[in-house]
Amino acid sequence: ELELENVRVVRSRLEDFHPAERFSTIISRALSNLADFVAGAGHLLEPGGCLLAMKGRDPAPELTAAGDLGERARVVPVSV
């Protein structure tokens, strides 16, 4: 539909998806809470890769609930 190159659509549950190669970047929008996203997508991310989670107006409660992500987590406000 969008005629994008280098894109493959996969219809699968996150936990059931096991590609041959891991990804450098994984982006989610309205997928789940942050803790579940980090836990569920971890097996798909290459070492040193980046998870990008587009969250609502106030991500602070989810960051707190996700526990200690240390330097691996930061909030970057965006306007969509």
List % helix, strand, coil for the chain (3-state, nearest 5): 30, 20, 50
The DSSP secondary-structure symbol of 71 reads G
Any domain includes 56 = yes
Any domain includes 75 = no
pLDDT given at position 21: 92
pLDDT given at position 12: 86
Q: What range defines the domain where residue 43 resides?
A: 23-68
**Domains held by the chain: number:** 1
pLDDT given at position 19: 92
Any domain includes 48 = yes
Any domain includes 3 = no
Could you state, in chain order, the average pLDDT of each consecutive group of 10 residues for the chain (80 residues)? 80 89 86 80 87 79 71 68
Any domain includes 17 = no
Any domain includes 73 = no
pLDDT given at position 38: 81
Any domain includes 30 = yes
Rounded CA separation 75/47 (Å): 21
Alpha carbon separation from 21 to 17, 40, 43, 47, 80 (Å, rounded): 11, 16, 10, 12, 30
Any domain includes 77 = no
